[in-house]
Amino acid sequence: MSLEADCIFCKIIGGSIPCHRIFEDDQVMAFLDVGPLARGHTLVIPKIHAVTLETLPPEYAAACLRIVPAVAHAVMTEVGDEAAGWNLLQNNGPVAGQAVGHVHFHIIPRKPNDGLGFRWLPGKLDQEEAQVLAENIKSWL
């Protein structure tokens, strides 16, 4: 397990910064977000330092996503009276809203008219461009 001295989530993993822990095993931790968007807002993080998801070793990515359903189920059982659904949010890079440079998955309970909003501004996929784009992306896998 490799951690970074100046990373706030690595410090939580190491125990030098406290958190309200919900789950922990040798690869993953889940704890309450200190600035919750909703009651029960929980973070799931890998116990290894990686800034963005595409740089996270796959076994840690798998470990995070393996535990997300159970943690979300527990959160929603607790706050289900007030929340009717939840978002799984994972930001990569400042332009995408990432403030903490250690991979994390947000579990955010949602209720009608909670004011959080969600902007989804769909474009239209150009079929010709899509063919080239898909082939190009495939070649990078």
CB nearer ligand AMP, residue 116 or residue 132: 116
Answer positive or negative: Cα dihedral of 77, 59, 94, 13. Answer: positive
Closest to 86 (Cα-Cα) out of 133, 50, 33, 140: 33
Q: Quick one: 99 or 137, whose CB is closer to ligand AMP?
A: 99
Cβ neighbours, 10 Å, residue 89: 15
The residue (of 100 and 134) whose beta carbon lies closer to ligand AMP is 100
Q: What is the DSSP string of 36-101?
A: -SSTT-EEEEESS--SSGGGS-HHHHHHHHHHHHHHHHHHHHHHTTT-SEEEEE---SGGGT--SS
DSSP 30: E
Out of 97, 112, 115, 122, the residue judged to bind ligand AMP by CB under 6 A: 97
Rounded to the nearest whole angstrom, what is the least distance from the CB of residue 108 to ligand AMP in the complex? 9
Side chain identity at 134, as an amino acid letter? A
Q: Which of 16, 21, 24, 34 binds ligand AMP (CB under 6 A)?
A: 34
From the list 76, 98, 111, 114, which residue makes contact with ligand AMP (rule: CB under 6 A)?
98
Q: Does 15 bind ligand AMP (CB under 6 A)?
A: no
Look up 104 and say whether it is catalytic: yes
| Contacts of ligand AMP in 35-54 (CB under 6 A) | 35, 43
Q: Which residues between 67 and 96 bind ligand AMP (CB under 6 A)?
A: 91
Element (H, E) at 137: helix 127-140
**Contact between 62 and ligand AMP (CB under 6 A)?**
no
Number of neighbouring beta carbons within 10 Å of residue 17: 12
Q: List residues binding ligand AMP (CB under 6 A).
A: 8, 17, 19, 33-35, 43, 91, 97-100
**Active-site positions?**
104
